[in-house]
């Protein structure tokens, strides 16, 4: 397992990327911003985006979700799955997040 931790956004919140060493499937955890940088680090390790996990849906943790979904669709031609706590659904459903 490869773990990449990068501070993102003006809040310097830690976004993480987990990449399975065997399958190269990548999970983004709390991609709050700086999505191009996150994707670049993922690619440099041979990662293939599969999932997004949100610890919670505040802006500093979820602000880059829509951009990540769109860029993965554009660059990889596939959808990426979003997971988060059901109580945060109202925040995730806002157009600014997803």
Confidence of residue 56 (pLDDT cuts 50, 70, 90): confident
Cβ neighbors of 66 (< 8 A, separation 6 or more) are 95, 96, 97, 98
Instruction: Answer yes or no: are the C-beta atoms of 33 and 67 closer than 8 Å.
Output: no
What is the rounded average pLDDT of the residues 52-72? 92
Percent of the chain past pLDDT 70, that is, above it, reads 88
For 1-27, the pLDDT digits (tens) are: 999 999 999 999 999 999 999 999 999
Residue 43 structure tokens:
């690619």
Single pTM value for the model: 0.88
């Amino acid at each position: 397992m490869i773990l990449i931790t990068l501070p993102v956004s003006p809040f310097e919140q830690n976004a993480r990327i987990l990449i399975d060493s065997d399958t190269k499937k990548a999970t983004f955890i709390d991609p709050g911003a700086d999505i191009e940088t996150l994707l670049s680090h993922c690619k440099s390790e041979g990662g293939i985006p599969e999932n997004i996990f949100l610890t919670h849906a505040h802006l500093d943790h979820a602000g880059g979700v829509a951009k990540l979904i769109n860029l993965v669709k554009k660059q990889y031609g596939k959808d990426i799955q979003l997971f988060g706590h059901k109580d945060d659904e109202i925040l995730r459903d806002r157009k600014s997040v997803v």
